[in-house]
Amino acid sequence: MGIALIVHGGAGAIASDRFASAQTGCREAALIGWHKLQEGHSALEAVEAAVRILEDNPNFNAGTGSCLTAEGNIEMDAGIMEGHTQRVGAVANVERIKNPISLARRVLESPHVLLVGRGAQIFAREQGIHLCRRQELLTEHQQANWQHAHAERAARLQQQHGTEPSYYRTELGSTSASATSNHLEDSDEKHGTVGAVALDSFGTLAAATSTGGIVYKYPGRIGDSPLVGAGFYADEQSAISCTGYGEDFMRLLIAKRAADFVARGMNAHAAAEAAIALLGTKATGTGGLIIVDHMGNLGFAWNSTHMAHAYITQDMPEVIAGV
């Protein structure tokens, strides 16, 4: 059995002028994780290190470069799991954290499984994790995405009711959140999470996922990424990280379903295909996932337009990246 690692940089429609940066970013992250495995570190260490690199890369929707909520805030989610111990750590709706995956890792080391919002922030402080400024996480690209989504919504409301949107202006002004919710539709362009799964030299598996969520998401909305079994999962036979329209991944527990396919005898590749086929038949949302199984086989599949990814196994001379 050999060591193996695969990362993703989000499912969705990636503009062709962003192909190169998406692949380079995934390749860099895969290499960092790979070096950890080669040095004899655990799969848990490797997936955390790979995801941190992706979080620090402003081209991905996680950590620096996270998308904005409808109010213009940055609320991030992340989860990490080790297969043989079934230890899980996750954080949701966290602000001002540069590397949410490392906060999730600290949760994994604690008696908790999932901490959200203010509590997660208090925990971060207790752990000596520095709270950054929102500005440090904000990119021009995501600001432009927000402006675009806001203008679209204004136009839609104008057309339907003849009114301007009167809420969602916090970072940018006022706030009376009206009960008429921002209709969270799936759109191929709104995705972009990051994740990694690995098998280490001890034969143990780990999975990690981190995200800013979906562009212009409702404040407080949490997707699949920090939910064990939905956006990530690991057991003794496989490790999975998902990306895509979180509401459908939550409804269908896609990560756990993929793990169950492996447990029933499928290899990683077949399990990835089967889980995405299930998503396609049971839901309208799109997305993708990556898997590594206990034999070191890798699998990935998506039904969105693209999914940035990169992988390497012991038999490969170098990392392969694609979109």
Radius of gyration over every alpha carbon of the chain, rounded to an integer in angstroms:
19
Which of 89, 231 has the CB closer to ligand ASP?
231
DSSP three-state, residue 87:
strand
Longest alpha-carbon distance in the chain = 64
5 touches 291 (CB < 8 A): no
Exactly one of 37, 198, 214, 289 binds ligand ASP (CB under 6 A); that residue is: 214
Angle at 297 between CA 268 and CA 237, to 5 degrees: 65
Q: Which residues contact 156 (CB under 8 A, 6 or more apart)?
A: none
Least Å from the CB of residue 226 to ligand ASP: 9
Concatenated DSSP letters for 88-120? Answer: EEEEEEE-S-S-HHHHHHHHHHSS-SEEEHHHH
The amino acid at residue 312 is I
10 belongs to the binding site for ligand ASP (CB under 6 A): yes
Which of 10, 58 has the CB closer to ligand ASP?
10
The residues in 51-110 that bind ligand ASP, with binding defined as CB under 6 A, are none
Stretches 45-53, 114-122, 241-249, 307-315: which one binds ligand ASP (CB under 6 A)?
A: 241-249
257 touches 263 (CB < 8 A): no
First-to-last CA distance in the chain?
28
223 belongs to the binding site for ligand ASP (CB under 6 A): yes
25 belongs to the binding site for ligand ASP (CB under 6 A): no
**What is the C-alpha separation between 218 and 282, in angstroms, rounded?**
24
Closest residue to ligand ASP, based on beta-carbon distance: 246
Stretches 35-43, 162-170, 181-189, 224-232: which one binds ligand ASP (CB under 6 A)?
A: 224-232
117 touches 92 (CB < 8 A): yes
142 belongs to the binding site for ligand ASP (CB under 6 A): no
Q: What are phi and psi of 87, to 5 degrees?
A: -80, 135
Angle at 221 between CA 310 and CA 261, to 5 degrees: 45
306 belongs to the binding site for ligand ASP (CB under 6 A): no
Least Å from the CB of residue 95 to ligand ASP: 15
Q: What H or E segment, with its residue span, contains residue 50?
A: helix 43-56
Catalytic, 64? Answer: no
Exactly one of 191, 256, 294, 306 binds ligand ASP (CB under 6 A); that residue is: 191
Which of 249, 261 has the CB closer to ligand ASP?
249
Residue in 64, 193, 204, 243 annotated catalytic: 193
Least Å from the CB of residue 242 to ligand ASP: 7
Binding mask 245-284 for ligand ASP (x = CB under 6 A): -x--------------------------------------
Annotated catalytic residues are 193
Binding site for ligand ASP (CB under 6 A): 10, 191-193, 211, 213-214, 223-225, 231, 243-244, 246
